[in-house]
Structure 1
Amino acid sequence: MGHGGDVIAELTSDHREVDELFARIERTVPGDAERKRLADRLTIELVRHSVAEEQYLYPAVRRHLSDGETLADKEIADHVRVEELLKALEGVDAGNLDFNHLIVKLRTEVYAHIKDEEGRLFVELRAACPQADLEELGEKVRTAKKVAPTRPHPGAPRTPPGNKLLAPGAGLVDRARDFVTGRGK
């Protein structure tokens, strides 16, 4: 992740990357270790994306949209459900029947979230927010993704300032664990 452009272009590109990872998982034979590797990659991308949205996108939604509080709260609730599924998936081997069940539930939640963001939230934000602000938010989101956690932390703070203070530390620990285990390669 780190595609360039304003915040909406950046996050939409992330969505397409997630679509492709789900498609690759679905094309891989059930039980194959490659499915677990792809699920780990999907987890890394979803967590980094979610953290960046919570740090920068949703505060902008709250500021710029008349129903921003409600929209941001709904999107954060979606993230919590996704992270809970990611946490459950983390401990399941690709050969376990629960793996497939969790992937289907995860895909359903993520696709609904993407549809809502792209169909409503991004459209409204583009209409209400100056382009220069959207560009600045794109840079902030790209920077946040570089230091964000790579593993699900469903109980972590979801709003500033807590999420901005704790996410980089959790991200450092997660990346160290990933390096030692080879996860995400």
Structure 2
Amino acid sequence: MDALTFLRADHESVLGMIESLERGRGTSETEIRNREHLATSLVIAASQHEAVEEQFFWPAVRKSLPEGDELADHGLEQEESGKQLLQQIEHSEAGSPEFEQALTDFLVAMREHIDYEQNQVWPRFAEVEPPEDMADLGDRMAAAKKKAPTRPHPKTPSGPGAQKTAGLAAAATDKLRDMAGGRKSDEPADPHTP
């Protein structure tokens, strides 16, 4: 599958979780517990997605486009802000004012980031990237997602080298913590791709 198809499927999955979280602001114990599980799924999906973009997509944008550095820097800046918010969500109690504020801020930030990627970066990238390179990039991102961190790591540098070393170490630790803490059950299924 090509890179943009892979990324679009991830975006649609994350947007679906966002819409469910926006609708599900109930206050009963069951509603809060369901909200916590869905927020954890969102944290996992967004963390994996951003790690894969940092490792593969943004470096490809830098290489392929004359304005690639500027586009990638802006995208990475948005992702860094998103990681900070994801970490606040992760460390706040579901239903608390801190949780709700971080979640609300993240939902706005994520929509802006997706809009930026899909409407400003992707069209330019698609114009210059050969189809065979786009397919190879998509395959590499899909494979890397299975090994990506499941938690935000805002202190991990966003460069591809750091993601391939520190990111993999963080991912291994995340997966052990997920298994030990029962968080593995909140891991979302891979999005459907055509």
**Structure 1 residue runs without a partner (length 5+):** none
Q: Give the aligned partner of residue 20 of structure 2.
A: 24
Q: Give the aligned partner of residue 169 of structure 2.
A: 169
Q: Give the aligned partner of residue 190 of structure 2.
A: none
Structure 2 residue aligned with 1:9, among 5, 13, 30?
5
1:40-119 equivalences in 2 (<5 Å): 40-119=40-119
TM score, norm. by length of structure 1: 0.95
User: Contact conserved, 2:88 with 2:99, CA < 8 A, in 1?
Assistant: no
Q: Give the aligned partner of residue 143 of structure 2.
A: 143
CA offsets 1:129-155 (integer angstroms, 9 cap, x no match): 001000000011111111111011101
What is the alpha-carbon distance in structure 2 between the residues aligned to residue 11 and residue 166 of structure 1?
Answer: 23
What is the alpha-carbon distance in structure 2 between the residues aligned to residue 160 and residue 103 of structure 1?
Answer: 27
Aligned residues: 181
1:116-127 equivalences in 2 (<5 Å): 116-127=116-127
CA displacement at 1:55 relative to structure 2: 0.6
Q: Give the aligned partner of residue 192 of structure 2.
A: none
Instruction: Give the secondary-structure state (helix, strand or coil) at the position aligned to 2:94.
Output: coil
What is the alpha-carbon distance in structure 1 between the residues aligned to residue 176 and residue 88 of structure 2?
Answer: 21
What is the alpha-carbon distance in structure 1 between the residues aligned to residue 162 and residue 99 of structure 2?
Answer: 32
User: Contact conserved, 1:61 with 1:72, CA < 8 A, in 2?
Assistant: yes
CA offsets 1:47-70 (integer angstroms, 9 cap, x no match): 100000011101110011110001
CA displacement at 1:28 relative to structure 2: 2.0
User: Contact conserved, 1:92 with 1:99, CA < 8 A, in 2?
Assistant: yes
**Structure 2 residue runs without a partner (length 5+):** 186-194
CA displacement at 1:160 relative to structure 2: 2.4
Percent of pairs with identical residues: 31
What is the alpha-carbon distance in structure 1 between the residues aligned to residue 8 and residue 184 of structure 2?
Answer: 22
User: Contact conserved, 1:37 with 1:184, CA < 8 A, in 2?
Assistant: no
What is the alpha-carbon distance in structure 2 between the residues aligned to residue 116 and residue 36 of structure 1?
Answer: 28
What is the alpha-carbon distance in structure 2 between the residues aligned to residue 162 and residue 83 of structure 1?
Answer: 16
What is the alpha-carbon distance in structure 2 between the residues aligned to residue 127 and residue 95 of structure 1?
Answer: 44
Instruction: Give the secondary-structure state (helix, strand or coil) at the position aligned to 1:148.
Output: coil
What is the alpha-carbon distance in structure 2 between the residues aligned to residue 162 and residue 154 of structure 1?
Answer: 12
Letter in 2 for 1:121: V
Moved more, 131-140 or 154-163: 154-163
What is the alpha-carbon distance in structure 1 between the residues aligned to residue 92 and residue 161 of structure 2?
Answer: 33
Q: Give the aligned partner of residue 154 of structure 1.
A: 154
CA displacement at 1:30 relative to structure 2: 3.3
Instruction: Give the secondary-structure state (helix, strand or coil) at the position aligned to 1:112.
Output: helix
